[in-house]
Chains A and B, each alone.
Chain A
């Protein structure tokens, strides 16, 4: 999204804000600094641009901040979980810790970075003249960070090989649904069973709104046959971005940066490596994630000795849902169609072991 100019980022242009509950608290109450200083530098001494949720917001919103502190957006525990698994240790090595701090931790959010300003990792700046937005505008918060995959899939911004465009997710167009209509405050504020990864406990399921699909209660024969064996996305998602080989490092001046191979639009049905009560399916959709055994080699040698502990084709929930897709056009459009399935020939030789549990060895027959 376009970046705000420096002055725009801090322009408190909403006059109504000062009459709001938050506005009446006063600037210094949350931000510190010296509100009576006649000099900018003096006024900003001790000022906190992004107040800490626990130290500030909790004074009135303790019921939210108490769980939000453990939310995945706050802790980034999901990153740590997958890194630890590939590292083979619960505690990250010093090299991985440094890599995480340089390249991942910037995505940590605070209350303000959703409800008052754009996330820092997306450029920062007030959302709307310092008004508190509940729910936050998805275009400036959610998709500011979740941009290259979710945003492009959801809004139909991915280009096909033929030069056309993939359709938007039907929940966006024509559904007109914003992110928070599925991913509500309960999930965002961490008020869910303890999560170490976003897929640990499904905060939202398709059947929450579409219960009739289960077991084919809606009379749809395909739902009757497949709903227990296939994730919904297997029939209703389309091509999505798959990313490869990201390597991170810092410049001589200490500036973090990355280099990543071009992404690939593709669709892969694979085996469900970790079936759960909520996700009991045999087949799910998989997305290649840009991890590489040498992704963090700048920070040390052999930092991921258990690289094969997790697949590189990960369980995915592409946000590009369609009612009608190429694979659900007919039985034979999917059954026996090797192009749809993650077979061994589609996996890099050095990644075969990591993906042993998700590769489809025997295609569902026609």
Chain B
């Protein structure tokens, strides 16, 4: 039976995740004018949104100790196959 995850360290961890996500300039125009602030803001918002939506995933799957605690090893079944596959 699977165990539930330890309580997530709420805003602190989420905040740390956001701090690691720099803004991203996705402007690809060859023009020499400055990047469109709206494009940069939109890209940054999208990246931030993606990071925010994955907080639970990242917290667990980057923590070896947590994974070791939660991982369920498959039940070893007797190998019925005979010979070299």
Report how far A15 CA is from B5 CA in the complex, Å.
22
Nearest B residue to A18 via CB reads: B20
Q: Which residues of B contact A18 (CB under 8 A)?
A: 20-21, 58
Q: Which residues of A contact B84 (CB under 8 A)?
A: 148, 241, 243, 260, 262-263
Best-buried of B3, B54, B60 by chain A (most CB within 10 Å): B54
Interface pair B47/A24, CB less than 8 Å apart: yes
Contact residues, B30-72 vs A (CB, 8 A):
47, 50-58, 60-62, 64, 67-68, 70-72
Known contacts: A35-B54, A40-B2. The answer to whether A7 contacts B68 by CB under 8 A is: yes
Interface pair A259/B57, CB less than 8 Å apart: no
What is the interface size of chain A, counting residues whose CB is below 8 A from a CB of the partner?
Answer: 39
Interface pair A43/B5, CB less than 8 Å apart: yes
Report how far A262 CA is from B70 CA in the complex, Å.
41
Contact residues, A255-271 vs B (CB, 8 A):
255, 257-263
Does residue A208 face the partner (Cβ distance < 8 Å to B)? no
Interface residues on B, range: 35 or more
Interface pair A41/B4, CB less than 8 Å apart: yes
Q: Which residues of B contact A259 (CB under 8 A)?
A: 81-83
Best-buried of B3, B20, B51 by chain A (most CB within 10 Å): B51
Interface pair A35/B53, CB less than 8 Å apart: yes
Q: How far is the CB of A314 from chain B (nearest CB, A)?
A: 18
Interface pair B81/A26, CB less than 8 Å apart: no
Report how far A10 CA is from B79 CA in the complex, Å.
25
Report how far A214 CA is from B68 CA in the complex, Å.
58
Interface pair A28/B83, CB less than 8 Å apart: no
Interface string of A10-54 (1 = CB under 8 A from B): 111101001000001111110101111111110100000000000
Interface pair B58/A12, CB less than 8 Å apart: yes
Interface pair B55/A35, CB less than 8 Å apart: yes
Q: Which residues of B contact A28 (CB under 8 A)?
A: 50, 53-54, 57
Q: Which residues of A contact B68 (CB under 8 A)?
A: 7
Q: Which residues of B contact A262 (CB under 8 A)?
A: 83-84
Report how far A258 CA is from B80 CA in the complex, Å.
7
Interface pair B50/A24, CB less than 8 Å apart: yes
Q: Which residues of A contact B64 (CB under 8 A)?
A: 7, 11, 13
Q: Which residues of A contact B71 (CB under 8 A)?
A: 5-7, 10
Interface pair A261/B83, CB less than 8 Å apart: yes
Q: How far is the CB of A327 from chain B (nearest CB, A)?
A: 26
Known contacts: A28-B53, A35-B55. The answer to whether A40 contacts B70 by CB under 8 A is: yes
Interface string of B1-21 (1 = CB under 8 A from A): 011110110000000000011
Report how far A18 CA is from B21 CA in the complex, Å.
8
Report how far A256 CA is from B52 CA in the complex, Å.
42
Interface string of A319-348 (1 = CB under 8 A from B): 000000000000000000000000000000
Does residue B77 face the partner (Cβ distance < 8 Å to A)? yes
Report how far A308 CA is from B48 CA in the complex, Å.
62
Nearest B residue to A37 via CB reads: B56
Q: How far is the CB of A118 from chain B (nearest CB, A)?
A: 15
Partner of A10 from B4, B61, B80 at Cβ < 8 Å: B61
Does residue A251 face the partner (Cβ distance < 8 Å to B)? yes
Known A6-B74, A260-B84, A260-B85; 17 more pairs at CB < 8 Å: A7-B71, A10-B71, A12-B62, A13-B62, A24-B24, A24-B50, A29-B50, A35-B53, A35-B54, A35-B56, A36-B52, A38-B56, A40-B5, A257-B80, A259-B82, A259-B83, A260-B82
A interface, CB within 8 angstroms of B: 5-7, 10-13, 15, 18, 24-29, 31, 33-41, 43, 148, 241, 243, 246, 251, 255, 257-263
18 example contacts (A-B, Cβ-Cβ < 8 A) are as follows A6-B74, A7-B68, A11-B67, A12-B61, A12-B62, A18-B20, A24-B24, A26-B50, A29-B50, A35-B56, A39-B4, A40-B4, A40-B5, A43-B60, A251-B80, A258-B82, A258-B85, A263-B84
